[in-house]
Structure formats: structure tokens, C-alpha cells
Amino acid sequence: MKPDFQIDEFVPEDYETVVSLWKESGLDSVVGDELQEIKRKLKRDPELFLVARQGRVVVGAAIGAWDGRRGWIYHLAVSSSTRRKGVGSALLEEIESRMRRKGVLKVNAVVYKSNVPSLALFGKKGFKLQDGQVVVGKYLTND
């Protein structure tokens, strides 16, 4: 059966809808999620920030990034009405495909420990918890 959604690259006009989707999915808005910062990200690798659409409605989103060494996936979110219909899987597969074309050899995903459904999806897609690794962060604003 053909999916009833398509995968597109994020455009700034999607911003408010994607932020609402993140909130609905329980993702905290953090420094760097502002439209101005997203536009900066789009200058670097716009082909890795993807949205899933049913018609004109955004029903899923995921940010992919490449630092020149590792690929990263952040903020995978799917609307509650569209979950378990292949949207999240399709977004992951498309980001992985685009990363392979760039020569990325390894991709990591940042997922909140409390986000059990997302952890399950990443697990089904072959992602494994990295033994001995913890993500640490520091804001470089207001130092």
C-alpha cells in the first residue's frame, strides 16, 4: 500500500507547524530551535531537515545534521493522529539515505530517555544504545 504522505525538505514557512508538532510530541524547545537559528542550520545542510506531509499538512519532522565526521538526528516527531503509520520510519530512512550519499559512515540520534516510543522506533531501525556514552551539553550564551 502506498503511503498517504510525502517527504519534503523543511522550509521556513513550516516553522510554526513543526514547533507545534515538537510540543505535541513532548520535545522541549531549546536554544537553537528559534527560527533565526533554524535558518542558519538550513544554510549548512538543508537537505537533511525533513518534514512529512499529508497534502499540505505537516505530520512529521526530523532534523538531520552532519558535522563532517558523524551524522546526527534530532527532534524526530510525528503527530499523534499519524503515529504507527510509517511516518517516523520513512523520515529516518530518508535521512539515512541522504547521509549515505554525503559519505556519512555513522549516524547518532539524540533521544530523551523518557521517550519510550521513539527509543523503540530507533531500535527497530538498528540504532543501539552506546555503552559508556552520555550526551553532555553546555549553552554558549550568557557565559
Sole residue written with cell 555513522: 106
Label residues 85-102 b or e (16+ Cβ within 10 Å = b): bbbbbbbbebbbebbeee
Coil vs helix vs strand at 53: strand
Instruction: Give the angle 35-41-47 at the CA atoms, nearest 5°.
Output: 115
Sole residue written with cell 506531509: 53
pTM for the full predicted model: 0.88
Asked whether the predicted pLDDT for residue 136 surpasses 60, the reply is yes
- Pairing mode, if any, of strands 107-109 and 71-78? parallel
- Convert the pLDDT of each residue in 45-63 to its tens digit: 999 999 999 999 999 999 9
What does the pLDDT average to over 30-54? 93
Give residue 1's pLDDT.
54
Q: Is 6-124 assigned to CATH 1.10.8.60? A: no
- Convert the pLDDT of each residue in 68-106 to its tens digit: 999 999 999 999 888 888 999 999 999 999 999 999 999
- Contact of 98 with 48, CB cutoff 8 Å: yes
When pLDDT is cut at 50, 70 and 90, the band that residue 142 belongs to is low
